[in-house]
Amino acid sequence: MKKIEDFVKEEGDSFPGKTYVEELLKPVFNDQRDYLFDAMFALHRAHVIMLNEQSLLSDEDTETILKGINDLTKVEKESLKYQPEYEDLFFTMESKLGDIIGHEIAGKLHIARSRNDMGEGMYRFVLRDNLLSLIKEVDNLLKAFLEQSEVYVDSVMPAHTHTQPAQPTTFGHWLLAIHDNLQRDRNRLVEAYKTVNKSPLGAAAITTTGFSIDRNRLAELLGFEELMENSYDAIGAGDYLLESAQAIESLMINAGRWIQEFLRLVTNEVGLIKVSSPYVQISSIMPQKRNPVSIEHSRALASNAVGKANSIIQMLHNVPYGDVVDTEDDLQPSLYDGFDKATRALRLMFAVVRTMEFNEKLAEEQAYNNLIVITELADVLTRDYKVSFRKSHTMAATVAQKSDELGKELYEWKAHEINEILEEIKLSELEWSNIVNPNVFVERRSIQGGPSHNEAVRMIENRKKQMNKNESLLQSLRQNLKDSKSNMRKIIENYEKCN
């Protein structure tokens, strides 16, 4: 270990010290360069335009600064390296702008702004694109689930509770359940977007500014839907990060659950889902293996995304209200990585779901086994023979117990044999045949939300309408951002023409 005096000498005698540079400033600079480069210039342009419109910047200086910014955007961002004389990317690029247009004019770019509101503005600017991209991936998967649920709307299969065979349902009904859960996660992402897409710009450091700026105009130019009105709230709040992280976490936790169920259904022992060949891998030693690696990696990616989201939540916990901007330097990359992992998981499962095959014959065979239609016997006794349900449940349980003792499935019994067990009830062969038939079981579950054909078709049609609304909403949100970029380009072009 170095002597203290040698260490102190190596660290330097002024800010920033060597360790601070290596472990914080350089990594933060690289993250800003990789994630915030384009956002920074968008904010610069909007700020310059607003200053000019408010007569805080002359037309000549406005044109000069906008031209200089345009020249700066042509820099290969990968070539940018941390320089000790500049604390972060913003100061580095301000200096480079000064080299192009003169440092006196370049310095006017910072009128009525702070790195606080700039940082918050850039983070929100980038996050909203990440959210919209993830929503698009969710929409693709929603459509895949809906398409397959329509294909397999009448494909009977066993449903499980407590990991045990429970009652017959259909594969279409099962897929609709996942679809609906995924739709709610989509709603959470949209709500997070609404929270994110609010402008903190013009809040400056904490208390706004003494210059007569127009905060609403800044928001409009950049496509933000509204303001973070209270200036302290604008630079101190972290709930937009929290809400984004929680939306990712919910999406991936829920995805992890049904992905795990997919892995159960693709096992040879269950054998209900066959993953398409492009998404399975053959063992290096066992040539018979069809390893569902696409699903396995999706599960791992979902868990990774949950971990990233949890990191955001923990990093925000107990952060003093005035410190959120500095915390975000380390926090943001984890959030971007969470979006990336979630996107990859959804894309993999989209490919799997769109191309999978469901073994309808085997699923129906399994639906006849494990006594899973026994509930219908209790229901028939109550519905048609006016036996109290508690008593009919006991009578059905007796049949189940006898079946278990003899190793017989329900369809292997004859009606007269069952009648001997039930004693006072005399079921006809037709009644018993219907009771043991999983297709009849499903069709009789026609209550709202049930798996019967008509009810499942109704739900599918309803969700198709919701899908159209989803697509319209996403298109509207994307169009708003496109329009703001287009309008900004036109404004800049007008400055160039007029000057």
Q: Does residue 307 lie within any of the structural domains?
A: yes
Are 232 and 286 found together in one domain?
yes
**Residues 150, 178 within the same domain:** yes
Is residue 214 domain-shared with residue 243, that is, in the same domain? yes
pLDDT of residue 12: 80
Q: Which residues pair with 168 in a beta bridge?
A: 158
- Residues 62 and 134 grouped into a single domain: no
- Burial of 275 by CB count in 10 Å (0-12 exposed, 13-18 middle, 19+ buried)? buried
* pLDDT at residue 40 greater than cutoff 80: yes
pLDDT, tens digit, 9 for 90 and up, residues 456-470: 999 999 999 999 999
Instruction: Let me know whether 12 and 28 are in one domain.
Output: yes
pLDDT tens across 296-316, in order? 999 999 999 999 999 999 999
Can you give the residue range of the structural domain that contains 31?
A: 4-111
Asked if residue 340 and residue 469 are part of one domain, the reply reads yes
pLDDT tens for each residue of 204-253: 999 999 999 999 999 999 999 999 999 999 999 999 999 999 999 999 99
Whether residues 57 and 177 fall in one domain: no
Mean pLDDT score of the chain, rounded to an integer? Answer: 93
Examine the pLDDT at 499 and tell me if it is beyond 70: no
- For residue 30, pLDDT over 90 is answered with no
Tell me the pLDDT tens digit for each residue of 375-415.
999 999 999 999 999 999 999 999 999 999 999 999 999 99
- Can you tell me the distance from the alpha carbon of 384 to that of 380, in angstroms, rounded to the nearest whole number? 5
Q: What is the CATH number of the domain that holds 96?
A: 1.10.275.10
Provide the b/e sequence for 449-469 (b: ≥16 CB within 10 Å). Answer: ebbbeebbeebbeebeeebee
* Phi, psi dihedrals of residue 55, rounded to the nearest 5°: 60, 30
46, pLDDT greater than 90: yes
pLDDT of res. 206: 94
Do 216 and 163 share a structural domain?
yes
Is residue 305 domain-resident? yes
- Which of 234, 466, 85 is closest to 226 using CA atoms? 234
Domain boundary among 83, 111, 139: 111
Task: Identify whether 494 is part of a domain.
Answer: no
Whole-number pLDDT of residue 93: 87
Q: Note whether residue 495 is domain-resident.
A: no
Residue 16 lies in a domain: yes
Residue 386, domain member (yes or no) = yes
Does 133 share its domain with 170? yes
| Number of domains present in the structure of the chain | 3
User: Which whole-number Å values give the CA distances from 238 to 32, 313, 361, in the listed order?
Assistant: 18, 10, 53
**442 in a structural domain:** no
pLDDT tens digits, one per residue of 402-457: 999 999 999 999 999 999 999 889 999 999 999 999 999 999 999 999 999 999 99
Return the HEC string of the chain. CCCHHHHHHHHCCCCCCHHHHHHHHHHHHHHHHHHHHHHHHHHHHHHHHHHHHCCCCCHHHHHHHHHHHHHHCCCCHHHCCCCCCCCCHHHHHHHHHHHHHCHHHHHHHHCCCCHHHHHHHHHHHHHHHHHHHHHHHHHHHHHHHHHHHHHCCCCEEEEEECCEEEEEEEHHHHHHHHHHHHHHHHHHHHHHHHHHCEECCCCCCCCCCCCCCCHHHHHHHCCCCEECCCHHHHHHCCHHHHHHHHHHHHHHHHHHHHHHHHHHHCCCCCCCEECCHHHCECCCCCCCCCECHHHHHHHHHHHHHHHHHHHHHHHHCCCCHHHHHHHHHHHHHHHHHHHHHHHHHHHHHHHHHHHCEECHHHHHHHHCCCCCCHHHHHHHHHHHHCCCHHHHHHHHHHHHHHHHHHCCCHHHCCHHHHHHHHCCCCCCHHHHHHHCCHHHHHHHCCCCCCCCHHHHHHHHHHHHHHHHHHHHHHHHHHHHHHHHHHHHHHHHHHHHHHC
Same domain, 155 and 10: no
Among 111, 141, 165, identify where a domain stops: 111
Same-domain check for residues 405 and 465: no
Which domain CATH number covers 260? 1.20.200.10
pLDDT of residue 275: 94
Let me know if residue 444 belongs to a domain.
Answer: no
Higher pLDDT, 32 or 156: 156
Residues 38 and 94 in one domain: yes
Which of 63, 96, 111 is at the close of a domain? 111
